[in-house]
Each structure stands twice: as C-alpha cells, then as structure tokens.
Homo-oligomer: A and B are copies of this chain.
Amino acid sequence: MAQAGRWYFEPIRPDLIVGSALEEVIYKGKTRYQDVQILRLSGFGLCLVLDGKTQSAEADEYIYHEALVHPSLVAHTRPERVFIGGGGEGATLREVLRHRSVRRVVMVDLDREVVEICRRFLPRHHQGAFDDPRAELAFGDARAYLNDTRESFDVIILDLADPIEGGPAYLLYTREFYRVALARLSPGGVLVTQAGATDPLSCQGGFSAIAHTVATVFPGTLAYTVFVPAFGSPWGFAMGLAEPLADAPTADEVDKRLRERLAKGTRFYDGITHVGMFSLPRYLREGLRQETRVATDEDPVFVT
C-alpha cells in the first residue's frame, strides 16, 4: 500500500501536491521569523523545510547548490571576495569555499536560529564550512548589510526564500535592492539569485519577473534553469553582470576553469551541464522576452 503510513505533502500549486514517505521528524519549531522543520524523507534524506516549503534535501542539494554557486564564480575572472545573502544550510558557503581563489566570504542570514539548527542537524549539508577561517557569518538583513558596508565583493549570491507576501525575503528581489547590490560589486563582479520554479504550468512568471528586474539594473543579465528533484520542478536562477559578457563561455572553457580553480571536481556542474542550463526551452525564453514587470519596493512581485 503506497500511501498508508507517514507522509509529508507539499503543494507545488493549490491543485498539485507532492507527497514523500516521511521517515523521521528530526526537528520542528518556530523561530522569530519562520516555521522550521528538519525531516528525513525516504529517498531524499534530511530536508530543511521553512514555512512548509522544502529548501534543500541531502540527496540532491548538490544540484541546486552547484547550480547556484559555480556559474557566477566561473564567470568571474578571479573571485576573491564573495557575499552570500541567506544560505542557512551552509551548503552555498561550502561550494563557494571550494574555489581556491576565494579569500573571504561574508554570509548574512536573517535567522540565527535556522543557521544553528542547520549547523547541528545538517552536517552533510555544510560539511564544516562554517568553521573555515575565510568565512564570516553575520545575522540580520542582507540588504541592510550591503547598504551599510563599505566593502565591495566580486560575487554576490542570493540564496533566499521565494518572494512571498508578508515573507522575510521579498525586499531582496526588488530593483532598489539590486541597485544596492550592484553598487557593492567590484568591477567585473557578478550577482546571482535563485529565481523560483520554471515549470511552465506552475511558475506564475516569478522567474521571468525576477530576471527582468535584474535586467533593468545590471549591464548584463543571464538566466538559467535546472531540474531539482526535491522541488519537483525545474528551478531558475538569474545572473546580473556588472559588465556585459563579451562571449558566453564554451563548455570547454567552463571545464578548464573548474579544473584550474577547484581542488576537487564537482558532482553536477561542468561544461556541458552549463550549456544545458543556459539553453533555456523556448517557453522560458518567450516568457522572458514578453516580461514587462519590474519588482520595486513599492510594487513587489510575489509568488504564491
């Protein structure tokens, strides 16, 4: 009997739901900002669930985190200083630190409790990254941090919750925020943000709205997508470039840079994967081409 027993259900849309066999409730609680669960789901391993939305799963988090981190660091000539907004599990930090050129990473997460919970319960996610001497961890609003700092960064990575009305993150998806971030990028710098589901039936255009907003601020913009099993959907990312790319890197160039810069090979990302991620299916390119919305502080874009 497939569905007797313990299950965890998560809606993709109001009329579409994914259920996973639930092995264990490792942790559940409420922080000041959000509802937190650490669940062990059959086939997925330990999962972080915030406000009822799976953030990452042990079994496939490398897909999401490699896709989030490496394209922007590879796009940069020599990434030394990196800023991470969000990223509570520590896996984004882990991937950044694999780049030998990186000398300093500032990670600013809103929710100290979530980071502590992840540090304790998700060791395979962070793999000790928080203890790396190059990493500096701060708690608070990433936007306020970037606004107030005088430091500049080569790469800014935004590993955030989706922009939900009333949620903690939607002001990190607006034109005003991207201007703040661009001002903190060094010449040749790159920003990348997670940009939500790209499932053509479910994504509600959040992806294209985010990518378009980035495009109104940055001299260069790229968007890409990858299937993440734990999200039950392909997932999108938008990249803003402080200087437009002359040419997109070829698969061979991506592979060459990874070989030169990383001590140990990636599991998911490489040159051909890169080409696949950036060669968007037609419906996504059409969506981007037709998109006119710009998320602003006054008129944000929400996904639901």
Contacts and interface: CB of A to CB of B under 8 A. Distances in A.
Interface of A: 1-11, 13-25, 28, 37, 39, 41-44, 52, 59-60, 63, 199-202, 226-227, 229, 232-234, 251, 266-270, 272-273, 275-283, 285
A279 B268 contact: no
Contacts of A21: 14-16
Contacts of A19: 9, 16-19
Contacts of A41: 15
B18 A3 contact: no
B9 A20 contact: no
15 contacts: A1-B1, A2-B2, A4-B52, A7-B17, A16-B21, A16-B42, A17-B18, A199-B227, A226-B281, A268-B281, A272-B282, A273-B279, A273-B281, A276-B276, A276-B278
Given A22-B22, A52-B4, A201-B59, A43 B282 contact: no
Contacts of A9: 2-7, 19
Q: Is the interface of A mostly helix, strand, loop or mixed?
A: mixed
A63 B284 CA distance: 12
A273 B151 CA distance: 40
A54 to B, nearest CB: 11
Given A6-B25, A7-B8, A22-B22, 18 more contacts: A1-B14, A2-B2, A2-B4, A2-B17, A6-B7, A7-B17, A15-B42, A18-B19, A23-B25, A201-B229, A227-B281, A251-B279, A267-B283, A268-B281, A272-B279, A272-B285, A273-B279, A276-B278
A147 B200 CA distance: 40
B6 A6 contact: yes
A267 B2 CA distance: 36
Contacts of A272: 279-280, 282, 285
A279 B252 CA distance: 13
Contacts of A285: 272
A272 B8 CA distance: 37
A47 to B, nearest CB: 12
Q: Top 3 nearest A-B pairs by Cβ distance?
A: A3-B3, A276-B279, A15-B21
